[in-house]
Amino acid sequence: MKRRKFLITAGLTGLAINQTLVMMANTSLKNTSSLKNTPICVATWNFQKATKKAGELLESGESALDAVEQGVRQEESNLDNTTVGNGGAPDRDGHVTLDASIMAPDGNAGSVVYLQEIEHPVSVARLVMEKTPHVMLAGEGALQFAVENGFTKKDLLTPASEMAWKEWLKKKDYSPIINIENHDTIGMLCIDMKGDIAGACTTSGLAYKMNGRVGDSPIIGAGLYIDNEVGGAVATGMGEAVMKSLCSFLVVELMRNGKSPQESCEIAVNRLIKNNSNYKDFQVALLALSKDGEVGSYSIHSGFTYAQYNTGVSSNNPSDSFD
Ligand code: SD4
């Protein structure tokens, strides 16, 4: 059963009716601290190790910016995740090329694209944001900047990823269609104890993509967008579609105009569906967090879940979907 339908059904049973009425009454008191669901951390997919790490940092008083960086680094080092950082699937020619972005409460942002041999692209993105007059560094230049700032080069192609790639080479199916069941980019949003929001997104992109291909994850407004007055959004799935609709920016702007995080994700996914006649062939999922700690998510196909950590509780949550 879809999550929202379940909540509606649950709201109509027994004692829950009273609780629902109390909640509805409280909604008009939006800025009272009792309603605030913060600090809070949410991330695409079931990355509870990452959200727990970030959530505990938030609870100990760390900033949202530090929390998102440290949180997504968990997945960048996770060799079982073949869509992020070390162990990421290579492009069709065998290069592991990474994209990452980070955005701070003050509106500043940094990103790296087509970065090779560095396990933590999100930390390089943060340095681009903090130490350079630029927002985005690519390829060789990003690598040079990383090494100059103390990052160590490392071979990120693990034996398992190399074996899978060599198997793929036998058929060489070059169509960049994302497998609906197989994508694990992490996009994370955190609100800290001060009430500030930050976000990060990191990926190795589509497995066996063309050499040089860059996805949505490092594009500010596409894979990630934050506005400290409103909230934030992240995307996962087929980056080509996300980039064409600037989905994360769209979600945040919809929230600015009064839509809930849930409504905003639904409108943005529906817009994307309208603009991509082949939407049935790929997955896109959006995750949004408003400044008062309300979460929304929506995807084209079922199967998307998001991890959440707040007040010591870690969970994996099913998302509503178009089909
Ligand atoms: C990309 N959006 O590079 C990423 C892929 C993804 O889980 O999300 N994979 O297009």
Q: What is the pLDDT of residues 2-53, one digit of tens each?
A: 444 333 333 333 333 333 333 333 333 333 333 367 899 999 999 999 999 9
Q: What is the DSSP string of 26-83?
A: HHTTTT-GGG---SEEEEEBS-HHHHHHHHHHHHTT--HHHHHHHHHHHHHT-TT-TT
Q: According to the model, what pLDDT value does residue 33 have?
A: 33
Is the CB of 110 inside a 6 Å radius of any atom of ligand 1? Answer: no
Q: Is 242 inside a domain boundary?
A: yes
What is the layout of strands, in order, in the sheet containing 284-290?
A: 224-227, 231-237, 284-290, 295-299, 320-321
Q: Is 33 inside a domain boundary?
A: no
How far, in Å, is the centroid of ligand 1 from the Cα of 216? 7
Q: What is the pLDDT of residues 130-155, one digit of tens each?
A: 999 999 999 999 999 999 999 999 99
Q: Give SS3 for 181.
A: coil
Average pLDDT over residues 194-214: 96
Is the CB of 205 inside a 6 Å radius of any atom of ligand 1? Answer: yes
Is the CB of 202 inside a 6 Å radius of any atom of ligand 1? Answer: no
pLDDT, mean over the chain: 88
Three-point CA angle 15, 21, 26, nearest 5°: 130
Q: Is 13 inside a domain boundary?
A: no
- Closest ligand 1 atom to residue 238 Cα is 10
185 flagged as catalytic? yes
Residue 68: phi, psi to the nearest 5?
-65, -40
Q: According to the model, what pLDDT value does residue 22 have?
A: 33
Cis, bond preceding 39 (omega within 30 deg of 0): yes
Helix 247-256 and helix 261-275, axial crossing angle in degrees, nearest 10: 140
Q: Is 21 inside a domain boundary?
A: no
Q: What is the DSSP string of 226-250?
A: EETTTEEEEEEE-HHHHHHHTHHHH
How far, in Å, is the centroid of ligand 1 from the Cα of 257? 28
Class of residue 174 by CB neighbours under 10 A (exposed 0-12, middle 13-18, buried 19+): exposed
Q: Number of structural domains, the chain?
A: 1
What percent of the chain is predicted at pLDDT more than 70?
86
Q: According to the model, what pLDDT value does residue 9 have?
A: 33
Q: Is 235 inside a domain boundary?
A: yes
Q: Is 127 inside a domain boundary?
A: yes
Choosing from 83, 180, 202 the residue with most ligand 1 atoms within 8 A of its CB, the one to mutate for a pocket test is: 83
Q: What is the pLDDT of residues 156-171, one digit of tens each?
A: 999 999 999 999 999 8
Q: Annotated catalytic residue: which of 82, 185, 236, 305?
A: 185
CATH of the domain at 207: 3.60.20.30
For residues 101 and 201, give the distance between their C-alpha atoms in angstroms, rounded to a whole number: 5
Domain limits for position 205: 40-321
Q: What is the pLDDT of residues 70-112, one digit of tens each?
A: 999 999 999 988 899 999 999 999 999 999 999 999 999 999 9
Q: Give SS3 for 299.
A: strand
